[in-house]
Structure 1
Amino acid sequence: MGWTDERVELLKKLWQDGLSASQIAKQLGGVTRNAVIGKVHRLGLSGRAAPSKPARPVFKAPRPARQAAAPAAPRRIAPPPLAAAAPAPQPPVRYVEEAPGAATVLTLGAHMCKWPIGDPSSDDFTFCGRRASESPYCVEHARVAYQPAQAKKRSGANELARSLRRYI
């Protein structure tokens, strides 16, 4: 269906009233949301009376308190499964104030540590320049750059109950 003068005027009015492109397309009929957006763009319409956000309740009344269930017979809770093997604790990462490195952008080679030292906008910005290991960094900087993956904690009944409480 084409854009007649009446439909364009209705589009302008609905757009100024703050309706979304989807809402306007439904009211006009025979056009898509993208067609409405394109026409609005070509017409140069910009100002809107109000944003086209859906109305949300400002205040949500508190829920009534739940009735406590009668205490049941105590249940035996199985102990959590033991972890296969606890990884050896890694030594803490040391952050050291570093002296200027030995390499600049122009002298940096393929097997040199590319750890930046200093402010890139200053004239004394350098790179570490030591012999790189298998990564782009030397052994010391690789320890800082690549932290070991944290083991995922096992979800038990308590964790499930805690996460469900967020949604209830």
Structure 2
Amino acid sequence: MNWTDERVELLKKLWAEGLSASQIATQLGGVSRNAVIGKVHRLKLSARGRASAAQPRTKKAPSVSPAPVQKPVARPVRSAPASVGATALAVQFEAQPAARAMVHMSENVVLPISRNLTLIQLTERTCKWPNGDPLSEEFSFCGNEAGEAGPYCGYHSKLAYQPASERRRAR
């Protein structure tokens, strides 16, 4: 398919009106959505003609006292996509990450001293909890006595297997 001057002008007009690549491909006919996206990138079309989305929404303030302030959660920032290479339609996020939930142990558990075993030294009865980066020379496994129920010692079992009620609470 050849891009004639008329088809390119129609593409620019429809893109500025805010139509999606699929809608533009349908109106042009004989061209795929990906071809439209490729041509948009080659033409370096960045601004979309959505005037209503660019204006911030305002709400009237209530006459009663304001509600308590909640911590913000990282959410996607909706802005006009910039057509620069493969990042043209990438979603941008705010810099504030969501808070992590803390897991509280119900019992006083003593942290075992790791025996720092290699993979070859592990047996059926040793704890297979990994220590460190697997790609580094210092990588090892806990190596303490593992119970009958699983591959980890008592301490690492409590870390690995949380009761369902605590998992629900953490959400």
Calculate the TM-score normalised by the size of structure 1: 0.49
User: Highest Rg: 1 or 2?
Assistant: 1
Calculate the TM-score normalised by the size of structure 2: 0.49
